[in-house]
Amino acid sequence: MKVVIAGSSGLIGTALVAALRRDGHEVARLVRRAAGAPDEFVWDPARAELDARALRGADAVVNLCGAGIGRRRWNGSYKQELRDSRVTPTDVLADAVAATGVPVLVNASGVHYYGGETGDRVVDESSPAGSGFLATMCRDWEAATKPAADAGTRVVLVRSAVVLSRAGGMLGMLQPLYSLGLGGRLGNGRQYTPWISMDDEIGAILFALSNDKVAGPINAVGPAPVTNAEFNRALARAMHRPAPLVVPAFALRALVGEFAQEAILHGPRAIPTALEEAGYQFHHPTIGAALAATLGRSGAAR
């Protein structure tokens, strides 16, 4: 296939480009600077500008654009940036895909589509959108793909959990703390922490690209949900370090504000029904197996 990727320089995008090339596919990368390689094509989502050559002969477009939700403390302007960095590129790509007849659009989304107030209730792709900033943003993000779907493109919406990688993301931030014996649960620890290994995140995207039966939302989450306390116990076991600390909810709210309430102290108990029913086989079905594989350590695969 020829696969066009927006957001190819991010944590997931970098791994996806490598996987596609390893499997013999052609990759075209959309960049917002001057093109510096034959596979790079310039675009400017804010101006709705896209080098038409990028989509010529494309079999699929993968959109992974979006500023990091935990990169800095939220305020009004940053929340607008979070939203614009997702919805605006999706608007541009969906229109371009519709106009050029690209058959597949795989678009990123987030598992916080379901909101954080789900408690112990299991949610899957049939569950409704939740409330709050992240849920509303994910709903609007997904809705921006409508022009492509209306044009007959097979649209897949990848509602990703926290992706486990040594290269960055949440695990990249936690590793140094755990190495110093400063790990522990966040809040009361009873909230769910949706997770997925990088191998399965990439595997799910590749599966969506190649499987014509996969359309609409898919939860890119590990099939065995865990609470925050369980996640931290598994990480401590994987790193052979104690995790004695507890960060109280009030301290998290003071430190990171609204982000803590929406994305740390609450999380959906999401399961990957659509992927499993379509036949996807997880490489790492448990948090222990995922952390052991990610960290390259033994003794944690439970």
240: in domain: no
Does this model's pTM top 0.75?
A: yes
pLDDT of residue 206: 98
DSSP state of 116: S
Buried b (16+ CB within 10 A) or exposed e, 55-78: beebebbbbbbbeebeeeebeeee
Q: For residue 297, what pLDDT band results from cuts at 50, 70 and 90?
A: low
pLDDT digits (tens, 9 = 90+) for 125-166: 999 999 999 999 999 999 999 999 999 999 999 999 999 999
Tell me the C-alpha distance between 250 and 37, whole Å. Answer: 48
Instruction: Report if residue 187 sits inside a domain.
Output: no
| Nearest-angstrom CA–CA distance, 152 and 15 | 29
Q: Does residue 130 lie in a domain region?
A: yes
297 assigned to some structural domain: no
Mean pLDDT of 100-122: 93
CB 227 within 8 A of CB 192: yes
Burial class (CB in 10 A: 0-12, 13-18, 19+), 247: middle
Residue 300 has pLDDT above 60, yes or no: no
Domain that holds residue 147: 2-164+196-221+272-280
Q: d(Cα 228, Cα 187) in Å, to the nearest integer?
A: 9
pLDDT tens digits for 63-107? 999 999 988 999 999 999 999 999 999 999 999 999 999 999 999
Can you spell out the DSSP letters for 210-261? H-TT--EEEEES-SS--BHHHHHHHHHHHHT----EEE-HHHHHHHHTHHII
The number of domains in the chain is 1
- The angle at the Cα of 146, spanning 90 to 266, to the nearest 5 degrees, equals 65
CATH no. for residue 110? 3.40.50.720
- When computed from its CA atoms, the radius of gyration of the chain, rounded to whole angstroms, is 19
